[in-house]
Amino acid sequence: MSEFTVPARVSGEQDGADSLDFLVVRAADELYGLPGASVREVMRWRAPTPVPGAPPVLPGIISQRGVVLPVVDLRLALGLPGAPPERSARLVIIQHEAGDLALFVDAVIDLVPLAAAARAQPPAALDPARARMLAAVARYADHPLALLNLAALIAAVQEGL
């Protein structure tokens, strides 16, 4: 497992109205940013209740505060190899217009503001199936940070990837 240190400022970060908050999470050895406005809660990992016939990307459902949510394994949704949960594993409760869900991530790293100038288009060389789930790319502590497009991620899961 890789260790990531929290930088004093994010590369390219500027104060201003065009800055958006992103929750930095780890899936395998890669960093991803979730739009902070869509994150409702971060909770410790707990095993979901399996649903018969569900694809591997949906390991089950959980009930959180009286709401039943599907659990989506972010590793599998992004085409990364699956792994059992570690001590740092978390469920990130996402509230989005396309649907609410719990994202299973390997770790939650930080909540950082990113100015529009710090965000760039994903590289054209990426696999198209994976690239459609990215809104932009940035840098975090000298590591690449892929900013997720939650609507595209939810649509891909609903389509069965």
Total Cβ atoms within 10 A of residue 7: 15
Specify whether the CB–CB gap between 33 and 146 falls below 8 A. yes
Q: In what order do the strands lie in the sheet with 30-35?
A: 107-114, 20-27, 30-35, 143-148, 134-140
- Give the three-class secondary structure for 83: coil
pLDDT in tens, the chain (161 residues): 444 444 444 444 444 568 899 999 999 999 999 999 999 999 999 999 999 999 999 999 999 988 999 999 999 999 899 999 999 999 999 998 867 999 999 999 999 999 999 999 988 888 887 788 999 999 998 999 999 999 999 888 888 76
pTM, to two decimals: 0.86
Q: Which of 140, 139, 38 is nearest to 92 (CA)?
A: 38
Look at the block and give the residue holding tokens 């990992």: 45
Residue 26's nearest CA partner among 148, 125, 136, 135 is 148
